[in-house]
Structure 1
Amino acid sequence: MTIELQRDLSAVMAQQLQIRNHSLTTDVGEAEGGADTGPSPHDLYDAALGACKALTVMWYARKKGIPVEDIHTHIERDDSQERSGVYKLVARLQVKGDLTDAQLQELHAVAQKCPVHKLMTTVTTEITTDLERLP
């Protein structure tokens, strides 16, 4: 899969992000020289974790017949030590439904194993960057 970004010429630094048929703007805040026209790359990274946890819990609950009616996910970031190699995220999931304590514990275990959580904590990511001139 390819994700494409192209500068949004209506803003100083913003990028138009295209994923399949989905489009959104990403930018940085005014303090970083942007116009805050969309979420920052860090916001998208953090949101990927929250989305993955929520979708994984919903998928699992439906597969197992666990009566989850709604789910709200909150991600809190502490990037105060990022430059020294520590980036902290706290995920808080609030689940609505007629659930037993055992089902809540089961869903908690599933949330801990979502694919993005695994990517962020156990997988070595290799990145190659090429830079070319535009014609």
Structure 2
Amino acid sequence: MPIIVQRNTLLPMAQTVQIRTHSFTADNGVDGGGSDAGPSPHDLYDAALASCKALTLTWYASRKGLPLTSVRVECERDASEERHGVYKLTTRLHLVGDLTDAQRHELLAVAEKCPIHKLMSSVKTEITTLLAPA
């Protein structure tokens, strides 16, 4: 099922994003000509990484019986060199639960192997853009 993005004509740049049964707004910030009515494409890219790490850690801890009761992932970007081919993301894991140091380091290693982390860092993405018939 495709992801569908269509302009919200009530705002200067806002787009409605439809993913399966989920719908939300994406927009540029005011400095980018938008209304900041939703996350920007860069925000969504960064959020994909953070949410994948959180979901992966929650799944892994449950599967392994680790006492992880909550996880919060903070993701910060440094896009200052993006035009030169370097886009830096730093994620910080806040792990809650009666975890040993060894378990915390095990979870750190798991977070670094989440599917989106691997996709962003080790997979060549090929993008094809086509025109739909008029």
Q: TM-score range by the shorter chain?
A: over 0.9
Q: Which residue identity is paired with 1:47?
A: A
Give matches, 1:25-64, under 5 Å.
Answer: 25-64=25-64
Give the TM-score normalised by structure 2.
Answer: 0.97
1:127 match: 127
Query: Cα distance, 1:2 vs. partner?
Result: 1.0
Q: Which residue identity is paired with 1:87?
A: Y
Which deviations, in whole Å up to 9, do the C-alpha atoms of 1:91-121 show, x marking residues without a partner? 0010000001111111011000000000000
Q: Which residue identity is paired with 2:2?
A: T
SS state at 1:121 partner: helix
4+ residue runs over 3 A deviation: none
Structure 2 runs not aligned, ≥5 long:
none
Query: Cα distance, 1:130 vs. partner?
Result: 1.1
Distance in structure 1 (CA, Å) of the matches to 2:32 and 2:130: 24
Distance in structure 1 (CA, Å) of the matches to 2:31 and 2:59: 39
Distance in structure 1 (CA, Å) of the matches to 2:39 and 2:56: 23
1:116 match: 116
2:67 match: 67
Distance in structure 2 (CA, Å) of the matches to 1:95 and 1:128: 39
Structure 1 runs not aligned, ≥5 long:
none
Instruction: Say how many residue pairs are matched.
Output: 134
2:13 match: 13
Which deviations, in whole Å up to 9, do the C-alpha atoms of 1:39-75 show, x marking residues without a partner? 0000000000000000000000000000111111100
Give the TM-score normalised by structure 1.
Answer: 0.96
SS state at 2:68 partner: coil
Distance in structure 1 (CA, Å) of the matches to 2:74 and 2:56: 15
SS state at 1:105 partner: helix
Distance in structure 2 (CA, Å) of the matches to 1:36 and 1:132: 29
Let me know the Cα RMSD of the aligned residues.
0.9
